[in-house]
Structure 1
Amino acid sequence: MHVFLPHSYPTKEPQLFVRSDTMDKQEHNVLNKSLSSYINSLDRGDLCIMNAIQWLKDNLSSYIQTAKHSTELESNLEKPGTFYRMWIYSHHIYRQELRKKILDCAKRLDLTGFCLTGKPGVICVEGDKEHCEEFWRDIRYPNWKHISCKHSESVEATGLLDNLRLFSSFEELTFAAHGDYGLRNDYHMDLGQFFEYLKQHQSEHIFQILFGIEVKS
């Protein structure tokens, strides 16, 4: 903190300026305007340098944390890498613990896409290639036999990976179903609704890859 005391201090407020290597120009301006407002709120004639130091102790961390978070986020988004999208097919996805594992894993790895539950089961994940591959390793387990990656798409990204995403988040899909609702839960998802969902996300071509059925709009 740089301190400039006028000759008439403390009847005239001091000029204070705070500088930090973790903050950019705009963030410096916000912090110093807040500090100036605080000094102007104090009674003239009182010594206020110690008050200013205490104010910084109480408030500076929030400004630094905000700046650090913004810097880390920008660095992660702009880091060149490979954008990847995986289309995973399963005979069915019913079990609650498995569905939770899929959702938690996608969220942890910053992946977007969806999980279509029921029969058949379809999972799409997109994002950083290493994260997609880690997701694929994590959700598989020895006794999940009827699961395969039907298709993958890869793009070398030099800018923001987010610009290549087709989905804004990762969500679980459940469409109207038909079939036996008994103990086996052997019911089929409405693939017509699923096709419309893919169409809304510029992915209708995947329908034929997943099911071997060509659908014309």
Structure 2
Amino acid sequence: MKSEEEPTTDSASESLDQSEVQTLVELQLSEVDMLQSMFPGPRELVVDDPSVLCDLRDFAEGRITLLPPRLEFVINLDVEKGQLSMSVNLPHQYPAVQPTVFVRSQTLSREAQHRLNQDLLTHLKTIQEGDLCIGPAVTWLQEKGGTFFEDYPQMENAEDASVETKDDKFARLWIYSHHIYSKIKRKDILDLSREFDLTGFCLPGKPGIICVEGHSQNTEDWWHKVRSWNWQKILCKKREEVNISNDQDLSAFRRFSTFEELGSENNIRVKNGGFHVNMGDVFRYLEEHECGYVFKDYFGISGRPT
């Protein structure tokens, strides 16, 4: 069964033989089975690509030898005084290594979310190496998550969570990724950009391109979070900064009015089963936003519309 994400191999998995990786994948699947029984609702536990579960089972049982993509899913939790959403990315060698876990809430301030994730990471480090830890992370959130709504001011709406601190620089980051297919990553990128009051775009596919612009500290905080996720390859290709004064409106420096995911609505044509986009359309979009110059930074050649 073909997955939306290309098969990738964790570097640590390369040092393990197939039977060892199969054993680790079996443990992952047993934990997911347990979590699905705990959260049976259609929006409680959401697997990014359900076909990956089938592929992992086939791999664990020896029906295929090609290592499938990593498993990614989101668990949506109701806790006292609020809701939490935990994004999970399981490396192939989990539980021998820690997973990537990130928690957010539409009604928590950025400070509260940061503290919550730091405290959760500290808790995960207390779990014995090699033990399954997503279940214990859920238990910790159910027990402790509500306190973060009590200890920090609660936002009245999602837009309030992007209240900016004083910053005398405007920045625009141009990010390049080997590919962006994961629906969970794409949603998290959108959510984080709104959380940090950033405008720009995300172009999914192969390659994946992201532009974020706003207060420089907000772009740095966004980039710090995004690059910590599991990627085959991701880097900042270009960084633009300009000093701003107190009497200048930030919107005057923005090239994009919102943050959006590009696709057919922007007349970006997709080919080869959704893996590749028409680069001429991408260049045209950049030109429309006075950013055509960055095409050469990404691809080493001057672009032209088609």
Residue 291 of structure 2: SS of its match in structure 1? coil
SS of the aligned residue for 1:204 comes to coil
Cα distance change, pair 168–154 in 1 and its aligned pair in 2 (3 A): same
Once the two structures are superposed, residues 175-213 of structure 1 have per-residue CA deviations (whole angstroms, 9 ceiling, x without a partner) of 22222x3xxx6x211110000000000000000000111
Counterpart of 2:271 (choices 154, 178, 181) is 178
RMSD: 2.1
Aligned to 2:184: 97
1:168 corresponds, among 215, 236, 257, to 257
- The corresponding residue for 2:300 is 212
Structure 2 gap ranges (5+): 1-159
| 1:199 and 2:292 matched | no
How many residue pairs are counted as aligned between the two chains? 138
More contact order relative to length (CA 8 Å, sep ≥ 6): 1
Q: What is the CA–CA distance in structure 2 between the aligned matches of 1:166 and 1:125, rounded to whole Å?
A: 10
SS of alignment partner, residue 88 of structure 1? strand
Q: Which residue of 2 aligns with 1:109?
A: 196
Any conservation in 1 of the 2:174–2:237 contact (CA below 8 Å)?
Answer: yes
**Alpha-carbon distance between aligned partners in 2 of 1:109 and 1:204, rounded to the nearest angstrom:** 25
Q: Is the 8 A contact 2:167 2:217 kept in 1?
A: no
Distance 1:94 1:76, change over 3 A: closer
Residue identity matched to 2:281? Q
Structure with higher Rg: it is 1
Indicate whether 1:133 and 2:220 are aligned.
yes
* SS across alignment from 2:232: coil
TM-score computed with the length of structure 1 as normaliser: 0.59
Letter aligned with residue 282 of structure 2: F
Q: What are the Cα deviations for residues 129-170 of structure 1, in whole angstroms up to 9, with x where unaligned?
A: 000001101112353131100001000001222210000000
Change in Cα spacing, 1:170 to 1:214, as seen in structure 2 (3 Å) is same
Paired residues of 2:175 and 2:209 also in contact (CA < 8 A): yes
Compared with structure 1, are the counterparts of its residues 80 and 134 closer, same or farther at alpha carbon in structure 2 (3 Å cutoff)? Answer: closer
**1:65 alignment partner in structure 2:** none
Label 1:80 to 1:139 Cα distance change in 2 as closer, same or farther (>3 A): closer
Amino acid of the structure 1 residue aligned with 2:241:
S
Identity of aligned residues (%): 43
| Distance of aligned partners of 1:215 and 1:135 in 2 relative to their CA distance in 1, 3 Å threshold | same
Structure 1 counterpart of 2:109 = none
Q: Does residue 143 of the first structure (1) align with residue 230 of the second (2)? A: yes
Residue 205 of structure 2 is matched in structure 1 by 118
Tell me the TM-score normalized by structure 2.
Answer: 0.43
- Aligned counterparts of 1:97 and 1:200: Cα–Cα separation in 2: 29
Task: State the Cα distance separating 1:120 from its structure 2 match.
Answer: 1.1
Deviation at 1:215, TM superposition (A): 2.7
- AA matched with 1:154: E
**1:76/1:98 CA distance change after superposition, 3 Å:** closer
Give 3-state SS (helix, strand or coil) of 1:192's partner.
Answer: helix
Q: Which amino acid is 1:153 matched to?
A: E
SS in 1 for 2:271: strand
Structure 1 gaps of 5+ residues are 1-71
| Distance (Å, rounded) in 2 between the aligned partners of 1:106 and 1:142 | 15
Deviation at residue 100 of structure 1 after TM alignment: 0.5
Question: 2:288 and 2:236 mapped to 1: Cα distance?
Answer: 22
Tell me if the contact between 2:171 and 2:240 (Cα under 8 Å) persists in the aligned partners.
yes
Give 4+ residue runs of structure 1 displaced > 2 Å after superposition: none
